[in-house]
Every structure is written in C-alpha cells, then in structure tokens.
Amino acid sequence: MKKFLFSNWTSRLMALFFTIVLFIYVQGTTSSTSSPNSNNRITQLSSNRSETFSVPLSLTVNSNRYFVNGYPEKVKIHLSGPSALVTTTANTQNFKAFADLSKLTVGKHKVRIQQEGLNSELRYRFDPETITVDIQPRKTVTYPLKVNYSKDNVAAGYQTGTASADVKTVKITGASDEINKIDRVVAQLNVPQNAKTSINSQAIIEALDKNNNTVNVVITPATADVNLPITPGNSKEVPVSLKSKGIEDQTDEFNLSTTTKRIEVFGTRKQLRKLTKVEVEVDTSDVSKTKTKQIVLDPKLNGVEGFNPSKISVKVTRK
C-alpha cells in the first residue's frame, strides 16, 4: 500500500515538473518572436519629428460692423512631437489658426495668433506669432460702372462705338476710409493691338482713386461682360508736307524729301473735311550732311485718328 502511494505522488511531481519546464520554454519562444514587433511599436510611438507648413488664418470679429485690413490670408506653423501625430496633423490640418478681434474696437491693434484643435502632445509655434490689423467701420455703397480701354490699340482707320456692359452699377464694401478714396469704378477691357473687329469680352472691375491706384475694397460683382463696337472709319487721301524742327541756327537750311507723296488719313467726317495736307515734322538737329530718317506720323499733330502708312522715310540734306 505504501509503495503504491509513493508511486502516485512521484508521478504527480514528475508531471508538474515537466509542465513547468514546458511553460517556461513556450513563454521564452513567444517572447523572443514578438520582441522585434513590440520594439518597433514602441519606437514608432516614442520617436519625434518636426514639420512646417502653411494654414489659413481666420478672424473672430463682428463682420457686420467692422472691416479688417492688414492681415495675411495664411500663416506658417512649426509643429513638433510624436511622429505619427505630426504627420496626421500636417495631412489633415484638422485644427484652426485664428486671431481674436471680438473685444477690439476701431483702430490698429497688435494681436497674437492662436490655435484651436491641436493635440495636447504637440508643440507649436506660429510664424508670425503676432499680426497688426486695422479695424475700420464697415461701409457699403453703390457706384455706377464705366468701361475703360485703350484707344491706342485700335487699328488706324477704325473707330470705336460706345462701349456697354451688362452691369450698370456695383456694390462696394470695405473700410470707410478706403471707400472714401474711390474716384471711379471701371471695367478694364483688354483691347488687343491693332484691333479691327468688335470685342465681346469679360472685364475685371476695379475701384480707382484720383491717381489711378486700385482701392482695397470688395466689389460685387467682380467682373462684367463688355461689348466694344469697332468699325472701319472715314478716310481721305491728302499730300504730305515736310517741315524741319530742332534748328538752333536760323541760317541753317535743309532739303527734305520723301518718296511717299500722299497718305491715307482716317478720322471723323468733321476732322477730314478741313484737312488738305498732312504735316510731318522732321528733327534736323542731328544732321551734318545727309541722313535718311524714319518718321512716325503723329495723328494728334493733325487732329485725326490715324494714317496709312503710319510712318514714312525722309531724306534730310544740309544745304
């Protein structure tokens, strides 16, 4: 009986021993297998990095009452912290950069840029850290619209009709001091060089001061569809009359000649009715003996719209 009991206890102890050994072996194998992955996860979570990028800047302000000038549309932010957080934040930009003007009144103010929505584990710095803004009373007015274009780009012999736009008046909103600078509001029509046909095009609307500088305001609408009629004008052929200019010594005499004897002149009926010749002024101050010059004809000198040809060759000979 004793031998039997001893045998049972011996078997149990041997089984327990082998179980413990097997457990230790399995745990060691699992630990060594999973260790690299665990280390990688720890490394990924603990490594830091930095990144700089631009974000939109918003203002907290009563926009129904005030208009703000002087602030940038975007600011740079320098982020640093856990690598995964920095990467995610830079890609999603799921936070807001803003300047709080809600408690400020009219005038210039220096304010600090703030953020909302950044993870607390991230460190950040804005560039610039502060901005200077000019808060002005908001003002809205209505202005008539005029069409502006360069007549110099219309081809010689062609005339323009009355330019028209699909917009007659515009609404202008801005700071009161900027609104007060406005002299006129124009639709700037781009006329191509040597234009000979009517133009139908979209033109940008601008508010200008007395010095033709653009005023910083918001215009609604921002563009207009403009029509500019361009048609062939009246013409008349007249002889050329050459005349010296730039003579310092009145005793100097020059002989002026050209192979172009007659020129086609363009203008209104009234301009052409009294015109009997085209006066061409030739500068002879730099001629010592003989010189051939290319003279560009000046429509303003003759009170007309243009010429064909627009320049002639003149031979100048000192007598």
Q: Which amino acid is at 142?
A: T
275: domain CATH number is 2.170.120.40
166-171 mean pLDDT: 94
The pTM of the full predicted model, rounded to 2 decimals, is 0.53
In a domain, 150, yes or no: yes
> Is the CB of residue 166 less than 8 Å from the CB of residue 224?
yes
Same-domain check for residues 70 and 142: no
Quick one: pLDDT at residue 5? Answer: 41
pLDDT, tens digit, for every residue of 118-154? Answer: 999 999 999 999 999 999 999 999 999 999 999 889 8
Same-domain check for residues 225 and 239: no
Three-state DSSP class for residue 257: strand
Same-domain check for residues 57 and 84: yes
Query: Which domain covers residue 269, as residue numbers?
Result: 234-318
**What is the DSSP track for 188-239?**
E--PPTTB-S-EEEEEEEEEE-TTSPBP--EEESSEEEEEE-EEE-EEEEEE
Task: Give me the residue label for tokens 């830091």.
Answer: 48
Same-domain check for residues 273 and 198: no
Same-domain check for residues 224 and 238: no
Same-domain check for residues 102 and 120: yes
- Give the CA angle between residues 294, 236, 310 to the nearest 5°: 20
Please give the tally of structural domains in the chain. 3
- pLDDT bracket for residue 27 (50, 70, 90): low
Dihedral (CA of 131, 134, 137, 138) sign: negative
86: domain CATH number is 2.170.120.30
In a domain, 37, yes or no: no
pLDDT, tens digit, for every residue of 171-223? Answer: 999 988 899 999 999 999 999 998 988 899 999 999 999 999 999 999 999 99
- pLDDT bracket for residue 41 (50, 70, 90): very low
Task: Give me the residue label for tokens 């603990």.
Answer: 46
Residue 116 dihedral angles phi and psi, to the nearest 5°: -140, 125
Same-domain check for residues 151 and 228: yes
DSSP letter assigned to residue 155: P
Q: What is the total residue count of the chain?
A: 319
Same-domain check for residues 142 and 225: yes
Among the three residues 199, 232, 265, which one is the final residue of a domain in this structure? 232
In a domain, 24, yes or no: no
Dihedral (CA of 34, 39, 42, 48) sign: negative
